[in-house]
Structures are given as C-alpha cells and as structure tokens.
Amino acid sequence: MNTGGLPLSSHKKEVVHPYVREDLAETKYIPLYAWTQAVLGLSGRDIEERAAYIRRLRWFEDPVIRDALIAFCSTPPDTRREVGRYQPFADIANRAFELAKGNLPNVPDSYPIHDICVVRNDPKSIQRIPQHEMGADRSPDLLFIRGADKWKLEGSKPKRLRWVDIMAWLEFKASIKDLMGTFNRESKEYGLHTIDEETLESRDTTPDTTPLKPATTEPTLDEKVSSKVGSKRSSTKRKSLEYSLSDGRVDAKVQSGGYALETAACTYGTRYSCLGIIFDNDIMSPWYYDAAGYVSVNQSLSLLSDFPKVMAILVGFACLSHEKWGAIPPAISPPASAPYPTHFPPESLRDHSFDMMHPTSKRSVRVTLTKSLFTQYNLVGRRTFLYDIETNTVISKDPLVVKLSYQVVTRKAEHVVLAIAKKAKVEHLPEVHMWGDLWTMSDGIRQIFYDVSSEMSEDKEGPGVATYEDRTLRALVYTRYRPLKELFSKSCDLVLVMVDQMLDCLHDLRYKAKILHRDISCNNIMYEIRDGREYFILIDYDLAIVVTDDGEPSAAASSKHRTGTLPFMAFELLQEMRDPGYGSKAPRIRHRLRHDLESMLYVSLWSSTSMPDAEDKKLRKEIVEYLTKWEKESIGSVADVKSALIMEPVMIDSVPFPPTSEFLRPAFRNWVTLLREARIQWSTHCRRIQSGRSTRSYDMETLNGMITRDTIKKAIKTGFIPGDSSDDEEVPAAVARPRYRLRNPKTSDNVGEDKTLLGGPSTMDRTRRENPKNIVASREKDMPAYVEADAESADERMQTEDVSLLSRKKDIVHPYVREDLDETKHIPLYAWTQAVLGLSGKDIEERAAHIQRLRWFEDPVIRDALITFCSTPPDTRPDLLFIRGADKWKLEGSKPECVRWVDVMAWLELKASVKDLMGILNRERKEYGLHTIDEETLESRDTTPDLSTVSVSAPGGGTSRAGSKYPRGRPDSVNQTRDYDGRSGSQMKSLGYSLSDGRVDAEIQSGSYALDIAAGTYGTRLSCLGIVFENDVMFPWYYDASGYVSVTQGLSLLSDFAKVMAILVGFACLGHEKWGAIPPVISPTASAPYPDSFPPESLKDHGFDMMRPHSTRKVRVTLTNCIFTQYNLVGRRTFLYDIKTNTVIAKKPLVVKLSYQVVTRNPEPVVLDIAKKAKVEHIPEVHMWGDLWKMSDGVRQIFYD
C-alpha cells in the first residue's frame, strides 16, 4: 500500500489487515478429500492408496523421518517455542519428496517443479514489494520454494525471500500436547522401539523382528487402506484422539490469511491463487486462497496418527504443477524464453502476453506486459494489478497500460459503464482502448472444489459445498495517466483543484449518466496535462452501478462483496458493516452520491497528509500514527475515526498536516462542519419521525440538500453551511444561519464559538466532549430502525491498495480475511485434492499404500522430523512455505533474505495445542514395528514391540473416507482417549478431531497468506494453496477470487501418515496451473515458459490477445510494468500493467486492467460508455476490453463438479 513519502512505521508482525479476518470468516470448509481432489488432484482413494504404499515402504521407520518425528514430538510444550518443530517437519517433507519419486502411484521421477522443497523461513520476514512496503512483517514458518531460491537462505549472509519466490507456506501452532506419547503409541503399532521421553533414546526392549512384507511388493486390493479421512481402525487399533484446538487455531488462520494477502499483493499479479498448510501441534489443515475467498477442510489429519496420509498429501503438494501453485491463468502466457513451470514462479508478469480483440477493427491484438505499475493490496475480490504494455499493432499514440482484475462475472463491465458515461458527455473519464475477459474461475480449480464437494455432500447447498462467486480475469487497456503522488509529493496547491474537478465528475456521472462510482480512492484518481494544465481523471469503474433518476439501482445486486476502499469509505457505510447483526435489524444502507462525495474528503485529506514530504521526523511519525487509524484491525475502529473526525469540532485541528499543506486545514474544517451539520439534521429528522411529529418526505440523496456538489464547494470556499429552509421542522441554530469558519484553528475562542453555534451547553454539546467512541453510540442510537434499504446486497469488497500504514504486527488481519473465511466452502477432502492436486481419493489411497509399503514412516529424515514435530512446544510465528528450490537460498546462510510472496507456491500453517503427539507417534511406530520414542529423552526405547499383530498393509484399512471429521463445538478433549484395548487384525481405532478450540486462528492466518499472495504477486496468481495443520491434523485450503475452499475432513500426519504424504506429494506434483498460475490465456514469454519460470516475479512480458472494438482484428497485448495490484483475494483482485501492443491502439501510453469480474456484472467499458454518452467528464478512455478466462473453466468448476 502506497503512502507517498512517509517513512516506515513499526514493522510489527502481529498487525494483520482487517480484511484477513473478514475473509477468514467466509472460508468454505469442505471435506478433506474434496480439497485434495481439487487442489492436489488426489481423491480419497488416491490418498488411501498412496498411504498404503507409504506404510508398506515403511516411511515411518525411515531414519531421517523417524529422527525428525522424534525431534518434532519432543519439543517442549511451550507456546513460545514451536520453532523447534520447523526444521524437523521440513526434513520430513523433503525426505518424503525424495522417497516418493517413482515409488508411489502416479508420482513421477521428477516433479513438475523439479526442485520443489520445503525450507524453514521463520524468523526471517518476507520482502515486500516497494508499493506495499508499509505493510506488516510476515514470517511464515516454513515455505515451499524452488531449490534454486534455497541459496538465498543459506550462507553467511542469507537474504530475505520475496513473496514471488514462495510457492506455498506452512504455519505451525503448538500448545501443551503429549506428542511424544502419540509418537510412541504409533511406533508400537509399527512394531518399533518407543522413545524415552526424557532421554529421547530408544527404550532397550527388543522388538519382535517378524519381517514386514518387502517394500517392493505392491499392496493388493484388500490390503489397500480405506479412503476415509483420518484414522478409523479396528484390528491393530490405535487410541482415539479428539483434537481440541481452541488454544491456537485462530492466530494460525489469521497469519496464514495474512501470508495469502501478501502473496496476492506482492507478486505483481503473477499469482491467481496460493496455498498454505496450518499445523496445530500435529494436526494438519491445508488452505487454498484466491480472489473468491478461502477454502479449507472440515476434517483434519494428524502427522502422527495419520502419518501415511499426511505424507501422501505433502507429496501431492510436491506433484503440483505451476497452475495449482497459483500461477496466473494460462490466458496470460509467459515468454517463450521463460516457459512455465521451468521459470515459475516468475518475478512479475513482465514479457507475459495475451491476446485481446480490438473493439473497432475486431482484429486480435497481442498485448505484452512490461513494467508493473500497481498491485492492489488485496486477496479476496478484484485484486487489480496494472502493467505498462506493448502491443503488436499501434493502438494509441499515447502510452498504454492494462488493468487486470478478477471481476465478478455478473457485474457490468467497466468499459460498458464508461461507454454510458462517455455518451452522456461526462468529463474526466479515462480513455479505454481495448477490453476483454481472459479467463473465468469456473474454468479452474474453484469449479473443481464445487463439483467434488457437491458430489460428497447430501445437501448440494450445504456448508460442506464450495459454492463460490464466479469471477473472470478481465483485461482493460487504457491510456496511461499519472498518479497523484507524483503531483502532491511536490506541492498540495492543486488539492482543491482536484476536489473541484472530481466533484463535477461525480455530479455529472450521477445526474447525466445515472452512474455511481462507489470506489473513490487515491489510486482511482489520476491526472494528465491538457492545454498546459492539470486535468484529473477518475478511473476504475469496476464497482460502478447504473441507477434510476431516484438513485435506485437499475439492476439487482451482481456481487455479494463490499464496495469501496476501507480508508476512504463513508462513515455511514462503515457503520453498517461494523455490526454483524445490522443487516438483520434494518434494511441495508443504499450507496448514494453523498457517500462518494464524502469519500472525496478522505481522499483529499489522505493526499494532503501522506503524500507531501515531511522533513521533521517527529511530524512524520505523527502522520503515520494518525493515518494508521484509518485502517486498523477492525472496520469498527475505522468507523470510530471517521465519526470522531466529523462529529468532534476539535478533531480536524489535531490532524498532523505537513507544512506544505497546512494552509488547507480551514477548508477541511469547513467541509467536516458541513457533514456534521447534515448528520445533526438527519438525526433530528429521525427522532421527529419516531415521535410522530413529522411526516415530511426527506431527500436521502442529498440529506435534504445539505450534501451536494455545490454546497461542498461553497463550504470549502467561504465556510457557508446551508440550513434546510424547505422544511418547517425545528433545526439547530447553527444550521439556520450562515457561518464563516476561515479562522485560526488554534485559538480557544474558536472552540467556544463552536459550542455557541451548536446551541450552547446542550446535550448535543456534552456529547461532543465525550470520547469519540461514545459519540458513535450516542449518535447511532438516535437513528431510525427503518434505515433505507439498499437493493445492492453485500457487494464488491473494499480495496486497500493505497494504504500501507499498518504497524507490522502478525495478529492484525485484514477484515476481508475473516469475512472470506466465513464464506469458506468446506468440501470433502478428496473433492479438494481432486480439484487442486488432480488426486482423487483413490489416487491418494494408492499413493498412501505405496508410501506405507515403502516405509516412509521409518525413513530417518522423516522419522526424526516427526519426533521433533511431536515433541516441539507451541509457538505463534508463521510456518512453512512451498517454494522452488531456487529460492531456498534466500532462507539459508548467516544473513538469509526475505522471501517474497511471488516466490511462495503455497504454505503450511501449523497450530499446536495441548495434545500428546508423541504418544500418537509412538502408537504409529508400534504399528510399523518400530521402537517407541521416550517422550523425555527423545531416544528410541529398547523394548521390543510385538510385530505379530502388525499388519503389512497400510494403517486405516477399510472404507475410503478421507481422514476424520471434526465435530464443531465439541468440548475440549485434550489428552482424552478412548479405550483402545483389544486390538485384533489390522484395523486401527477412529480418531475424532475436535477443532473448536483453535481452528479460527490458523485459518485466519492462512487466509491472510492467501490475501498477501493475491496482492503481492502482481497478478501472477489466479489462486493459491495452503495447508493448515492443527497439531498433527492436516486441512488443505484453496483460495481464489471466488473465496476459500477447504475440506470437511482432516488427516493426521501421524495416524494417516501415508495419506498425508500422498497429499503432500500431490502438491509437489502440481503443475504451475494448480499452483495458482494466472489463467493460461495470459501466456508467459517463450524465454520464460511455465513451469520452469513459475512462479514469475510479475506478469511482465506475459501476453494475451484482445479484440479491438468495432474490429475483427486481434491485438496482442504484452504486459510490461505492473502499475497496481489490488490488496484483495476474494473479489475482483484488480491489477494493472503498462502494456505494449502489436498494433497501435492509441497515441498515449496504455495500461491494461485485469480483474476477476462477476460475469453477470455490466462490464466497465459499458458503464464508461454510458457515462461518455451522458457527457460526463473526468472519466478514463477505454481502448479495448474483453474477458480472457472464466473461473468455470478452471478448478472452481472441478470443485463444484
């Protein structure tokens, strides 16, 4: 988020964008196998099969895995020391990747991202892009990166990774839980020595050496484990564990959501989606993030009790191609010199290109992206990003940019709105040259989430189905204009000129073209020089609507997300959003012109304070601290600031203006006074209606003429505040007469005069002396219960692309993350893996069977990592990432670098609570015929387990349910186990994972990661993936512009080890498409093809074709510099690039706006055309437009199917 010349505030990790919490609340929780089906392409059967192989191959006994498991489980149960589990789990994952190659069903000898690896990142923070430098520090615990990046973290001077380097992440949370006890119980079931929990040495009893079947023998059908999520065994039964996660889950979810947000915002549009994994102690939850929201699982897996399944899932991650790692949809293709997946993830979309149709010639134009100009700080929503472009034909004499964003398909397209405005002769509009939809979410993983989860659900509209709002990746090429910062950083002399022109534009849009813009922000106002003077342009009509003469929306709501940009939203709209029950208590507030006019106050205030250079360090700090309040942890806090600014006369005098803009304070004082008096009149009117003393109609559009273009201009210029002369009702004396307020704000007489003008020492005056928060309550309780309805239900989300004043705290979450998390579609685990990983339940079962047969659980790396995992105390920092090995170096060495969101393929978020993971691990080890681990010493116990009852088949044989469902709201059941005596045969006991005591935190964190990936990858990611581990139970998540998709079942890393490994391998097997690459309609350059060059640093040099309007010729649009990336995941996720075209489109430079738009919404060019026809000024010129891709063509449709 850009704040002009301001210095950095405190970079606190606990600060999370408020949207993250909102998006997290909208998370779709789906069955685990629905998640793995969609993201990893692994069905429940696939995971079960791989888990069976993992068990047969004795991974649990592998020395590396065993030692790592011991180290994992032996970490003391201290919430500040979960760091001890990071490296052991990374060792387990990397060992699993090596063991799986060519040894598990459908796992190749080389992964699509051939050098995929998991590396420890914490405590190093990820490097943000300069545009969002003011964001919070983010330090995922573990990362999926390419091996080529691993060097950045190594050596004596390790570097920080960038978000563009990260494929995914893992976040761990630890609490007091006996992991070593669990480990030893698992060891006994594997026929292994237990580990002494004090010495960590193997206990001395000698295990029965009855040999298991050779690792080379493939399991027969009746030996293959079930596709049931988690562990439900009879025969060699394990103890039944109920995982209680209340003590850590919320933080992990929020942190992961923050990572997703940074990935989206800091990867220059290169990521369509991102992935994360959260571990709560040993419980794993995978997460998926994209512009549609978060997707996680409603069932989980234990690293110990579900060890084969967890390994199967981890291998599923390794098997992901660039598409599943979140690469921007293939409509935007990388350059031939850097194809995907070889060059995935890219640093940006530079040199990526796509085709558009010129609207006039109808010829195809190849658009090539060059420099990234802007990336919206957003994950869920439009996620706009801009690039300079080149085209293969002349489109315009001016430089062009392309705006790329994920738009709701039902929303009226921007070029349509602009056409309306242009026809109405509105001025100050941008010039649009081309437009088009490149790809839709329904063509990708989101549809897979929906499809698979609906197949697994009896209720097709139930909570376990990953429903989503379809979005299209929309490209809009328009003339390049200059940002406000370029003008106001030098002087604020023209701030009021901007206000004057924008008031005219907004007025003409409403009354000439019947259009409401609804997203006034600093980034949406630009300028150019015309006839030697500054001419301001109002851009971005994604959220604009066409209204009737009375201000009623002319069409039903086309998007369910919020409208506006948080710091600039009108107080009335924020006040409605702050109350969760507001919508049920009264009809919605309708967005009106007065709300846009109020937003102009906040835009001009923001520009006047944040953009000028302030040399005084103390003043700079005051400015940062003040503007930080405009976007804090909650929407309510922002609403409080707005209310205090308007209702408290002294508040405007406390705003810290730089010296160069101090002269504007009187004008702003007059403006807020006008708003204050308008609200007083409105409150008085409401009280009179309630008391039956008034039946007069009231003009809601202008608050009875108080808030109009002309009254604002007059108030700013003269201080005149109009009264309501048309109404016979009593009005305060202050409103009934003119007032001139251009006085020195620092004299005490002014304050006294304010009190006199407001009626003396009245109740209203006393209210003004109260705390600002009390003002909100006292004002709002006077409002009527029948506030006008808004026909547009919850609409497009607020952008936050130009705000970066958050103190960098990990626990501050963007409100959209919680909102999107609430909307998460929870689908069956195998539906998720089928859609994302391409692994059906059968695939996972098969791989898990191989993993068991290959004895991964016994692999030394995995074993030691599991032990460490189970024995590590809880901690609260971010966890693991999927990245390319080429980026791993950033996290290594003495001075590791910060990984960027564009480097992240997916993530794992781990949450730990009080759970005996070591006990679970030991039970699993017993089933593998291994020594148990002493929970104190972490050494293998020498007792000899009896292998006579150990099955050679994978644990969990039986039906093919994925993992174990966790019952929401189940009482805490830490360390509670069911009786497990009387084992017989090869079946193990059922584990019931209860996640009520920690799930939200991990999901919010994972949602934050998805949001950050969407906002920090320069539009390169269509979606993203995450894995949440609650202790040992794994939940995969999928995120894109339509929302979140997770699973209704989880798998235990311990009890379902083989399945988890199969799923992780499924991740590793993903191509760039499944890693979230932008839809293939935007193609990378031939020199940097996917997946070799995935993830890209941006979409620079990516290209796509568009059709010129009124022409049959295609124009090749090539993205150059990323101009803007919306800080959003679920929603439009707009991103803008400068562009080049293969033919001349316009004389001026062009940009393309790409966004994931609701397919039913009026395209922006249509809206602009309406405005243009209405002769509205100050609207941008649109040259081309077009839809490149639809979500229904991707994973989303697979989810649905």
- Over the stretch 840-887, which tens digit does the pLDDT of each residue have? 888 888 888 888 888 888 888 888 888 877 776 554 344 788 888 877
Residue from 1077, 750, 940, 981 nearest 202 by CA: 940
Residues 473 and 591 in one domain: no
* Tokens representing residue 479 in the block: 């003339």
In angstroms, rounded to a whole number, what is the distance separating the alpha carbons of residues 682 and 700? 9
Average pLDDT value for residue range 212-239? 40
Amino acid 966: pLDDT: 40
882 domain residue, yes or no: no
Average pLDDT value for residue range 257-283? 91
Domain boundary residue among 749, 780, 811?
780
549 domain residue, yes or no: no
CA dihedral (1136, 1141, 1143, 1144) positive or negative: positive
Residue 801: HSE in the Cβ half-sphere, 13 Å Cα cutoff? 43
Whether 624 shows a pLDDT value over 50: the answer reads yes
The per-residue pLDDT for range 159-207, each reduced to its tens digit, is 888 888 999 999 988 877 888 888 888 888 887 888 877 777 776 544 4
Cβ-contact 1022, 1194 below 8 angstroms: yes
Whether 592 shows a pLDDT value over 50: the answer reads yes
Q: For 548-562, 1022-1036, 1137-1151, which range has the lowest pLDDT when averaged over its residues?
A: 548-562
Residues 571 and 425 in one domain: no
Amino acid 1091: pLDDT: 83
Which of the pair, 1028 or 938, is modelled with greater confidence? 1028
454 domain residue, yes or no: yes
Residues 641 and 726 in one domain: yes
Amino acid 217: pLDDT: 42
Whether 903 shows a pLDDT value over 60: the answer reads yes
Residues 572 and 468 in one domain: no
Whether 658 shows a pLDDT value over 50: the answer reads yes
Residues 599 and 724 in one domain: yes
1076 domain residue, yes or no: no
Residue type for position 912: A
Mean pLDDT (the chain, rounded): 77
Amino acid 356: pLDDT: 93
Q: For 161-165, 449-453, 941-945, 1045-1049, which range has the lowest pLDDT when averaged over its residues?
A: 941-945
Provide the domain count of the chain. 2
Confidence of residue 593 (pLDDT cuts 50, 70, 90): very high
- The DSSP element (H or E) to which 64 belongs, if any, is helix 63-73
Confidence of residue 623 (pLDDT cuts 50, 70, 90): confident
Average pLDDT value for residue range 818-840? 81
Whether 987 shows a pLDDT value over 80: the answer reads no
Whether 156 shows a pLDDT value over 60: the answer reads yes
Q: How many CB atoms lie under 10 A from the CB of residue 1166?
A: 26
Whether 329 shows a pLDDT value over 80: the answer reads yes
424 domain residue, yes or no: yes
In angstroms, rounded to a whole number, what is the distance separating the alpha carbons of residues 915 and 176? 6
Tokens 């065994």 belong to 233
Amino acid 398: pLDDT: 92
The per-residue pLDDT for range 23-72, each reduced to its tens digit, is 888 899 989 999 899 999 999 999 999 999 999 999 988 999 999 999 88
Residues 479 and 579 in one domain: no
Which of the pair, 936 or 694, is modelled with greater confidence? 936
Cβ-contact 268, 1097 below 8 angstroms: yes
Which of the pair, 282 or 875, is modelled with greater confidence? 282
Confidence of residue 685 (pLDDT cuts 50, 70, 90): confident
Average pLDDT value for residue range 368-384? 90
The residues near 1095 (Cβ < 8 Å, ≥ 6 apart) are: 164, 165, 166, 167, 267, 270, 271, 322, 325, 326, 327, 344, 345, 346, 884, 902, 903, 904, 905, 1017, 1020, 1021, 1072, 1075, 1077
Q: For 354-363, 437-446, 593-602, 825-834, which range has the lowest pLDDT when averaged over its residues?
A: 825-834
Confidence of residue 939 (pLDDT cuts 50, 70, 90): confident
Q: Are strands 880-884 and 116-120 parallel, antiparallel or unpaired?
A: antiparallel
Whether 517 shows a pLDDT value over 90: the answer reads yes
Confidence of residue 1057 (pLDDT cuts 50, 70, 90): confident
Cβ-contact 1195, 288 below 8 angstroms: no
Whether 219 shows a pLDDT value over 80: the answer reads no
Residue type for position 815: P
Whether 979 shows a pLDDT value over 70: the answer reads no
65 domain residue, yes or no: no
Whether 962 shows a pLDDT value over 60: the answer reads no
DSSP 889: B
Query: Residue 566, SS3?
Result: helix
Q: For 305-309, 351-355, 1073-1077, which range has the lowest pLDDT when averaged over its residues?
A: 1073-1077
Residues 633 and 773 in one domain: yes
Which of the pair, 848 or 507, is modelled with greater confidence? 507
Residues 583 and 450 in one domain: no
Domain boundary residue among 780, 809, 834?
780
* Residue 609 backbone phi and psi in degrees, to 5: -100, -40
Cβ-contact 1116, 364 below 8 angstroms: yes
Residues 615 and 743 in one domain: yes
Tokens 């059922």 belong to 990
In angstroms, rounded to a whole number, what is the distance separating the alpha carbons of residues 66 and 47? 21
Alpha helices (H) in 648-722, listed in sequence order: 665-690, 709-718
Whether 774 shows a pLDDT value over 50: the answer reads no
Residues 620 and 769 in one domain: yes
Amino acid 723: pLDDT: 58
Domain that holds residue 659: 527-538+564-780
Cβ-contact 1036, 1056 below 8 angstroms: no
Cβ-contact 498, 485 below 8 angstroms: no
CA dihedral (441, 442, 443, 447) positive or negative: positive
Which of the pair, 499 or 1157, is modelled with greater confidence? 499
Using only C-alpha atoms, the chain has a radius of gyration, in whole angstroms, of 29
Whether 320 shows a pLDDT value over 50: the answer reads yes
Domain boundary residue among 756, 780, 804?
780
1192 domain residue, yes or no: yes
Amino acid 777: pLDDT: 32
Q: For 259-263, 668-672, 729-733, 756-760, which range has the lowest pLDDT when averaged over its residues?
A: 756-760
Which of the pair, 893 or 704, is modelled with greater confidence? 704
Instruction: Determine what percent of the chain is predicted with pLDDT higher than 70.
Output: 78
Amino acid 951: pLDDT: 39
Confidence of residue 920 (pLDDT cuts 50, 70, 90): confident
Q: Are strands 299-302 and 1127-1132 parallel, antiparallel or unpaired?
A: unpaired
Query: Model-level pTM?
Result: 0.59
Query: Residue 824, SS3?
Result: strand
* Tokens representing residue 1059 in the block: 């399945």
Residues 454 and 534 in one domain: no
Residue type for position 753: E
Amino acid 696: pLDDT: 66
Whether 803 shows a pLDDT value over 70: the answer reads no
Residues 456 and 353 in one domain: yes
737 domain residue, yes or no: yes
